[in-house]
Structure 1
Amino acid sequence: MVIAVIAIAVSLWLTPMQSVEAVGQTVRVGAAAPSMSWSGPGEVDLFGQKLDTAIDFPGPIRPRLELTNLQLSSELADLVGPAGNDAARKAAQDELQNALVDGWRRYLIIQILIVAAVSLILIGAVAGWQRRSRRATIVMVVLGVVVAAAANVGAVVVTAVNSVDQLRAISSIESLVGAATVPGQMPRNLPSAKAGHVVVIGDSTAAGIGNPPLTNPTKDDSACERTSGAFAVALGRASNWQVTNLACSSATIREGILSRQERGGEMLPPQLTTALDAAPSALIISVGANDVGWSHMIGLCAALPDCGGKASEAYFDQKLESFARDYLVLLTRLQALKNPPKVIVNTYYDPLPDDTDCVADLGITDEKVKLLHGWLDKMNTVLEQGADAASFPIAKPSFAGHGLCSPDPFIQSIKGNAPLHPTTAGGLAIALADQAALLAAGMR
C-alpha cells in the first residue's frame, strides 16, 4: 500500500498535460495538485496566473486547464461572436467540450500506465533487496501492481471520470476560465479599414490626464479628461498616421472598453465598439491599471507601515485574477473578428525606475518600492503573456533615467494634477514605443 501511494503520487507528477485543439485554439489538460477535500474547483493556468474554475469537480483529483494559444478561427467567431447561427454555435460548443473530455481521458490513461510502471519498478526493487526467489518475486510484483492499480482506481480514476460531466458544462473559451459574461455586443461585419488610421483605447494613462487641455475638446474629451499630452497626440505628430484617442479616465475592460462607462455625467459607448466602427487599420490598447487598482495599491503602500502584509497581497492577487479573466474576454473577442486591425498591447512604465529618495518622506521605503515593482511585474506579465497567446505585438515604454525622482521626470509629481501619470514628455516616450511596434507589425 505504501508503494501504491508513492506510485500514484509519482504518476500525478510525471504524467504530462495533454494538448488538444478546440475551436482553433490550443488547450492543455492535466490534473491539479491533489486536494484534501472531496469536491471543489479545478485549476486554470491563464497568463501566468493560477485561477480556480467556476465549476466544482468531484473528488480530490481535479482537472487543470491551460490556455496556451489564441488564434483567429471561424469556430471561435461562432462561439464568442454576436448571436446568429445557433447551429454553428452549438457545433463549436460541442467541439470544445469533446476536446476537453478527450484530453482528460487521455491524461487518465497515461496516468494509469505510469502507476503500473512505477509500482512494478519499486516492488521489483524491494523483492531484489529482500533476495526473494523468482517465484516469490513474480507473485509479489503481480500482487503489488494489482494493489496499486486498485488503489489508483479507487482514489483517482473513479472520481476523476465523474469530472467528464462538469467538463461538458464548459460552453465557451470564457467559461473555460470562469470569466463572467461581459455586457456589450461586437459588430458582425467590420467596415473596410482606413489606411493609416490608428485608434487608441484605454484608461487615464492613454487619456493623458493632468496635462495641458486639447485646443477644441469635444464633450466626450472633457468627460474623459483627454489632453494634448496624451501619447495618441504625440503619435499623430510623430507620424503620418491619423490617430484617434478614445481612452477615458477610470476605464476598465469591463466598464469602458467592452461596455458603457459613466463619466462626468455622460454615458459613454464601449470604446472597443466605437473604435471598430471607425475602421482603423491599427488598434492600441492600454489597460490594466484600473482593473487591478494600481493607484490604490501605491496609496496603500504609502499609508501603511507594512503594505506587503497578507491582506494586501490577497487583495492584489484577487484583482489580478479578475483582470486576467476580463483580459481573456477582450482578447478572444478581438480574435473572433474577421479581418481585425493590427493590435498593439501596451505594458505599463515603472514610475520609480531609478532613485527613490524623493518619496522617502511619503513613507515609500526601499522595501516598499521592491514590493511595488513586484506587483507591477505581475500586471505586466499578464499583459505580455495574454498578448503573446493572441500573437499581438507588445509595446514596452521605458522611463529609465526619467523616473519620478530624476532631474527630468516623465512622471507628474505627487502634488501634480494627476500624480504618477505621464507628463507630455512621458506621453512622447510611450508614443515612440508604440510607433516602433506598429512599424515592426507592418504599419505604413
Structure 2
Amino acid sequence: MRLRRQGPTRREPGRRRRRALIAAAYLLGLSALALAAVWLAVLITPLQPVSAAGQTVRVGAAPLSWSLSGPGQLDLFGQTLPTRARFDGPVRPRLELTRIEQDAEVARLLRSGDHERLTLEVGRKLASGWVRYGAWETAVAAGLVLLPLAAWTGLRRMPPRRTVLVLAGGLALVTAVNSVGFYLVASDTPRALRDVRSLRDLVGDSPPAPVPRAGGPPLGDVRAVALGDSTAAGSGNRPLPDPSDLDRACERSADSYPQALARANDWNLLNLACSGATVRDGVLGVQILGEQVAPPQIAQAQRATEASVVLVSVGANDVRWSDLVQLCAISPSCDDRASTAFFQDRLAQFALDYRRLLRVLATLPQHPTVVVNEYYDPFGRDVSCLRENGLTRQKAEVLRSRLAALNAVLRQGAVTAGFTAVKQDFEGHRLCSAQPYVQGPADRAPLHPTAAGALAIALADQEALPTDEN
C-alpha cells in the first residue's frame, strides 16, 4: 500500500481567521476598557491643590468632551464659568478656587490692569498642578484597567505568560490613550496655564450690565441720590414726616446721614436706601419687603438726570453682618473655622457683586461724584455693657477684623473705579461709651447709627466732597 503525503488541511485557514477575530475582539475590548477607565479616572481623580498669592486653587480636568478644542472650566465661589482661554483636545483643565487665605486678598478681585496681576508663580504652579494631575489620573486609569483584567484572567485560569501579556497590553493601551489625551493633543495646556496671572486672564471681563430703565418722568430737580442699606436709610431713628408705604418698609429716617447732608447743602435728596438691601437684591435688583416691592435703586437713580452726588452704603447685608454678630454672641468663640469660611465666602461673593455695581455707577450719564462710605467700628475697648449679650473683648476683636476686611474691599473698589471712599471713625463714641453714636441692644435698630452718629457720617462725607459740591 502506498502512503499518500498529506498537505495542509482545510481547517487551518479557518483557524487563522478565528484567531485573528479573537485577537481583534481582545483589542477592541481592551480599547473600550481603556477609554472607559480614562473617562472614569477623570471623574474620580482628586484635583491637585496649589497655593500662591494668598489663594488656593485646585487643578484637575473638566468632564471629557467630544470636541477637539474648547474652553476649560473655572469653579468660582459656587459658580461654574467657562474659561476665556481655549484648549486643544477633549481633556481640558478645570480650576477650582477653594479658599482665600487672607481677607485682604479679596480686594484683588476688584483690581484691573497691572494691579490685578498676581505673580508669575501662579501660572507656574497651575501648570505644575496640571502635570501632577495628569500623572495621578494615568495611575488611577491604569488601576481601573488592571483590576478587571486581573479578575478576568483569573476566572479564565490563563497561564501566567498569557496573563502577563494581557495585563501588559491593557496597561500599555491605557497609558497610550492618556499620553495622547494629556501630553500630545493637549501639549499646549501647560503653556497656556503658565500665562495665567489673574481671574481676568481666566474668564475675562463681562460687559457692564446696562442700567435698567425706570418708569416715570425725569427728576431734574434732584441734586443727590442715596443708595444702599439701613445705614443710609437711617433705621431706628426719627421717621420721615410724611412717609410712604415704601418709606416705612425701608425704615427711612429724617435723621439719616443723607438727610443731614441734604439739609447742610440745601440739596433736593432722593434717598433710595432700604433696610436689608444688598447689591443684588435692592440696589441692582428688586427687593421684596413683605407686601411691598422696592424697584431696583439704580433704576430709580437714573431718573435723577441732574444729580451730581451719589452716596453709597453697601456690604453689611451682603456679608450677613447681623447674622455673624448674633452667631458670635452665642458661640464660645468667633474665629472658628466654620464661621471664618462662611465670612470669607460671603466677602468674596460681595467683592464680585460690588465690582459690578461700581461699573454700573461709572456708566451713569450724568457722571456724578460717587461717595462710598466705609463702615464705622461699633465696638470700643470697653464692651462691658455687651457682656450680658454674649460679646466679650476677644469676640469684638474678631468682629472688628472682619469689618476691617469688608472696609478694605469697599475702599479698594472705590479707588480703582475713581470714586471717593470715606472712612468713618466713632472713636470715643462707640458702644458702652458715655455718648455712643451707635444704637445699643435695647434700641430699635442695634448697631446702627444714632442721630448723632448719622451726623458724624455726614460730616465725614462733607469733608470728602469736592469744593464745588459743598
**Interval of TM-score (by shorter of Structure 1 and Structure 2):** 0.5 to 0.7
Instruction: Give 1:275-290 correspondences, 5 Å limit.
Output: 275-279=301-305, 280-290=307-317
Letter in 2 for 1:68: R
Please state if 1:69 is matched with 2:102. no
Instruction: Give 1:355-366 correspondences, 5 Å limit.
Output: 355-366=382-393
Query: Residue 208 of structure 1 aligns with which residue?
Result: 234
1:262 aligned to 272, 276, 288, which one?
Answer: 288
Please state if 1:173 is matched with 2:206. yes
Instruction: Give 1:337-376 correspondences, 5 Å limit.
Output: 337-376=364-403
Contact 2:373 2:421 in 1 (8 A): yes
Distance 1:272 1:306, change over 3 A: same
Distance 1:185 1:356, change over 3 A: same
TM-score, with normalisation over the residues of structure 2?
Answer: 0.60
Distance 1:437 1:264, change over 3 A: farther
Please state if 1:245 is matched with 2:252. no
Deviates more, 1:418-427 or 1:195-204: 195-204
Instruction: Give 1:89-168 correspondences, 5 Å limit.
Output: 158-161=188-191
Letter in 2 for 1:390: A
Give ranges in structure 2 of 5+ residues lacking alignment. 1-50, 63-71, 86-91, 98-107, 129-181
Contact 1:195 1:281 in 2 (8 A): no
Q: What is the count of residue pairs matched by the alignment? A: 328
Distance 1:401 1:417 in 2: 22
Listed one character per residue, the Cα deviations across residues 253-284 of structure 1 (whole Å, up to 9, x for unaligned) are 11110111122411111111101212211100
Query: Residue 186 of structure 1 aligns with which residue?
Result: 212
1:54 aligned to 64, 81, 84, which one?
Answer: 81
Instruction: Give 1:296-315 correspondences, 5 Å limit.
Output: 296-315=323-342
Query: Residue 418 of structure 2 aligns with which residue?
Result: 391
Contact 2:382 2:393 in 1 (8 A): no
Listed one character per residue, the Cα deviations across residues 35-79 of structure 1 (whole Å, up to 9, x for unaligned) are 5634586598xxxxx99873468448899x965338xxxxxxxxx
Letter in 1 for 2:352: R
SS at match of 1:54: strand
SS at match of 2:317: helix
Distance 1:294 1:54, change over 3 A: same
Give ranges in structure 1 of 5+ residues lacking alignment. 1-11, 14-29, 45-49, 71-99, 116-152, 176-181
Query: Residue 274 of structure 1 aligns with which residue?
Result: 300
Query: Residue 6 of structure 1 aligns with which residue?
Result: none
Distance 1:404 1:332 in 2: 36
Query: Residue 459 of structure 2 aligns with which residue?
Result: 432
Please state if 1:322 is matched with 2:345. no
SS at match of 2:403: helix
Q: How far is the alpha carbon of 1:340 from its aligned partner?
A: 2.0
Distance 1:66 1:270, change over 3 A: closer
Please state if 1:422 is matched with 2:445. no
Contact 1:174 1:328 in 2 (8 A): no
Larger Rg: 2
Letter in 1 for 2:448: H
Query: Residue 360 of structure 2 aligns with which residue?
Result: 333
Distance 1:61 1:291, change over 3 A: closer
SS at match of 2:431: coil
Deviates more, 1:356-365 or 1:284-293: 356-365
Query: Residue 19 of structure 1 aligns with which residue?
Result: none
Query: Residue 144 of structure 2 aligns with which residue?
Result: none
Distance 1:33 1:419 in 2: 37
Q: How far is the alpha carbon of 1:244 from its aligned partner?
A: 2.3
Please state if 1:225 is matched with 2:251. yes
Listed one character per residue, the Cα deviations across residues 159-191 of structure 1 (whole Å, up to 9, x for unaligned) are 235669x9999474369xxxxxx8x84349xx9
Distance 1:66 1:431, change over 3 A: closer
Q: How far is the alpha carbon of 1:212 from its aligned partner?
A: 1.6
Distance 1:33 1:300 in 2: 27
Distance 1:346 1:415 in 2: 26
Distance 1:267 1:61 in 2: 39
SS at match of 2:396: helix
Distance 2:255 2:298 in 1: 22
Please state if 1:235 is matched with 2:258. no
Distance 2:201 2:314 in 1: 32
Q: How far is the alpha carbon of 1:398 from its aligned partner?
A: 1.2
SS at match of 1:258: coil
Listed one character per residue, the Cα deviations across residues 301-323 of structure 1 (whole Å, up to 9, x for unaligned) are 10111222111111111111111
Letter in 1 for 2:189: T
Q: How far is the alpha carbon of 1:246 from its aligned partner?
A: 1.1
Distance 1:217 1:172 in 2: 41
The higher relative CO (CA closer than 8 Å, separation ≥ 6) is in 1
Distance 1:157 1:334, change over 3 A: farther
SS at match of 1:360: helix
Contact 1:41 1:55 in 2 (8 A): yes
Distance 1:222 1:255 in 2: 18
Contact 1:34 1:60 in 2 (8 A): no
TM-score, with normalisation over the residues of structure 1?
Answer: 0.64
Q: How far is the alpha carbon of 1:342 from its aligned partner?
A: 1.2
Please state if 1:379 is matched with 2:411. no
Distance 1:436 1:284 in 2: 14
Query: Residue 60 of structure 2 aligns with which residue?
Result: 37
Listed one character per residue, the Cα deviations across residues 83-105 of structure 1 (whole Å, up to 9, x for unaligned) are xxxxxxxxxxxxxxxxx9xx99x
Q: How far is the alpha carbon of 1:247 from its aligned partner?
A: 0.7
Contact 2:59 2:96 in 1 (8 A): no
